[in-house]
Amino acid sequence: MPLLAADLEAESAVLRALLAELDEPDWKRATPAVGWSIADQVSHLAYFHDVTVTSATEPEVFAAEKAELEARGGVNPDEVAARYRGLSGGELLAWFDASRARLVRTFAALDPALRVPWFGPAMSAASSLTARIMETWAHGQDVADTLGVIREPSARLRHVAHIGVGARAFSHAVRGRPVPDAPVRVELDAPDGSLWTWGPADAADRITGTALDWALLITQRRHRDDLALVVTGPAAQEWVEIGQAFAGAPGTGREPGTFA
């Protein structure tokens, strides 16, 4: 858990360095996520960091809030974003810092196997913290794209890749589709030149490429057509078309050609 917390701190620092340079008008710049500004990306992270702490420390409170949201149709990220659009850039940055600090402080001390409720399936505390790394990286990608910044891929992409692979069943379930029986082998070239793998080595269905391309695909920050992933087999093809590493309703992704 301390190692995961350290990686969350490091990923947050990359994003924070971009945010610290923004003038107030820059916070309102539109990002590739339709209808969302940079400010919306940051409030989303801060809000769900806080909710994650509640899920681990006050599960009954989280369950009540979840039930109330589900009675209104479920969590609506657009409503969350709209709720905090009156905050200034400075206020958002302070909230982002405070929420991350609470999350790191809380989760670094938890048993990694502790079951933590969430809006999707319940998961371990370790997986919950991994999800926050994934979310920070993904929303940070939206900010970087908006500012025209290319971030250096790091070993932290393994967290994004791993949770994306683990979310295969959820990606199908959230769209009301059965998971194909065929296993899928995922082989990714890591930033340090090593190979990261998941799934049976002899699987006929395969996805190969760079860890960065897989992370961009599975967080829906790039359309499949704008990436160099090699996809073999119908089960793998269906997965890359619908895959998402994040909980909630099916994501809308990006239009092909946006980042060709």
Mean pLDDT score of the chain: 96
What pLDDT is attached to residue 195?
98
d(C-alpha 163, C-alpha 56), whole Å: 19
Collapsing DSSP states into helix, strand and coil, what is residue 37? strand
pLDDT in tens, 26-78: 999 999 999 999 999 999 999 999 999 999 999 999 999 999 988 888 889 99
Closest CA to 51 of 134, 156, 128, 114: 128
**In angstroms, how far is CA 114 from the centroid of its own chain?**
21
Domain at 158-242: CATH code: 3.30.1050.10
For residue 121, name the pLDDT band (cuts at 50, 70, 90). confident
pLDDT in tens, 93-112: 999 999 999 999 999 999 99
**Domain residue spans of the chain:** 2-151, 158-242
What pLDDT is attached to residue 248?
85
Pairing mode, strands 115-116 and 123-124: antiparallel
pLDDT in tens, 172-217: 999 999 999 999 999 999 999 999 999 999 999 999 999 999 999 9
| Overall fold of domain 2-151 | Four Helix Bundle (Hemerythrin (Met), subunit A) (1.20.120)
What pLDDT is attached to residue 179?
96
Residue 102, Cβ density class (10 Å: 0-12 exposed, 13-18 middle, ≥19 buried):
middle
pLDDT of 260 > 90? The answer is no
| pLDDT above 90: percentage of residues in the chain | 92
d(C-alpha 187, C-alpha 47), whole Å: 34
d(C-alpha 44, C-alpha 23), whole Å: 20
Question: Identical fold at 2-151 and 158-242?
Answer: no
Threshold 0.85, pTM exceeds: yes
Report DSSP state, residue 150: P
Collapsing DSSP states into helix, strand and coil, what is residue 105? helix
Pairing mode, strands 205-210 and 184-189: parallel
> What value does the mean pLDDT take over residues 212-231?
97
State both tokens at 57: 């420390």
pLDDT in tens, 142-178: 999 999 999 999 999 999 999 999 999 999 999 999 9
What pLDDT is attached to residue 247?
87
What pLDDT is attached to residue 64?
95
- In this structure, are residues 138 and 33 in contact, taking their beta carbons and an 8 Å threshold? no
For residue 131, name the pLDDT band (cuts at 50, 70, 90). very high
d(C-alpha 220, C-alpha 167), whole Å: 13
> What value does the mean pLDDT take over residues 236-245?
97
